[in-house]
Amino acid sequence: MPNHHIAVKIDAGEMARLIEDNLSAKSMDFAKLPGGKVYEGNPAWFTSGFGRAGYNGVVCASFEKEKIDQQIEAALEPFRQQNLPLTWWVGPLSSPVNLGQALQKHGFHHQRDMIGMAADLGELMGFVSPDIEYSFEPVLNRADLEQWMPPFLNAFGIPLEDKDLVLDIFAHLSFQPNSNWRHYLIRVNGEVVATSSLHLGGGVAGLYNIAALPQYRQHGLGTAITHLTFDEAKNLGFTLGTLQTTFPNALRLYHRMGFEVYCKFGVYQRKSW
């Protein structure tokens, strides 16, 4: 009997919430590292104990406009006490609307904006295989993850001196029982040339860490690993996929695949006290 897909019907506001819930769950996973802490109130925040802005932060805050400066300072106290840099994500669940501007008055710089997108995984465009022989594989252990690292580090501008730190962090979070992380790679002639990750938080499958070595991008491997990774999510029982992108070309690619824009995130960082 054919398996007829039933389209997922969710309104735009709820879809934006799901996108932010997945991003928040992914970020707050860093509190699971040794020495990490998490607070799930208002604002929700986490620390990892590592002195890197991406591994400590605030993911959701709803403040009163009249008290915004006092509330920001109170939220920063756990980071100030430990002298930790941090990232503050301002998304659709954050308020007031001028929160990003207010953060810049408290020592933050606006690092980038991200477009939040989502799709019914059963409605994605059909997969077209790349014009090159390749293999798609899950990352099952630390040795696989070490091979996964170079395209990821290159694409996201992570210094080579941080490789061992990032490897330790990802390995700890990925291979624990009940981990929400899944990582994948594409090999060509035995070399890892593209990477991806899923975070299975907030009830949806969030796509992260898409990277391809520059010399292989023209072969469609970025598109391939995106499709194949979301196929894995479907196999795990997920019906909705989410992602964030900062690159106009990627936004057009994801739109052609079937993803729609639902929200925007401002990313603010404070790296010193």
Domains and CATH numbers, the chain: 12-115 (no CATH), 120-263 (3.40.630.30)
Residue 11 has pLDDT above 50, yes or no: yes
In angstroms, how far is CA 255 from the centroid of its own chain? 18
Closest CA to 180 of 34, 22, 16: 22
Q: Give residue-wise pLDDT tens across range 233-261.
A: 999 999 999 999 988 888 888 999 999 99
For residues 24 and 194, give the distance between their C-alpha atoms in angstroms, rounded to a whole number: 25
Radius of gyration of the chain (CA): 19
Q: Give residue 131's pLDDT band: very low, low, confident or very high (50, 70, 90).
A: confident
pLDDT at 53 > cutoff 80:
yes
- Residue 155: DSSP 8-state: H
CA 6 to chain CA centroid, nearest Å? 27
How high is the mean pLDDT of the chain?
93
Is the pLDDT at 3 greater than 70, yes or no? Answer: no
Q: Cβ-count burial of 41 within 10 angstroms (0-12 exposed, 13-18 middle, 19+ buried)?
A: exposed
Average pLDDT over residues 69-73: 97
CB-based contact 172:31 (threshold 8 Å): no
Question: Among 200, 205, 222, 203, which residue's Cα sits nearest to residue 213?
Answer: 222
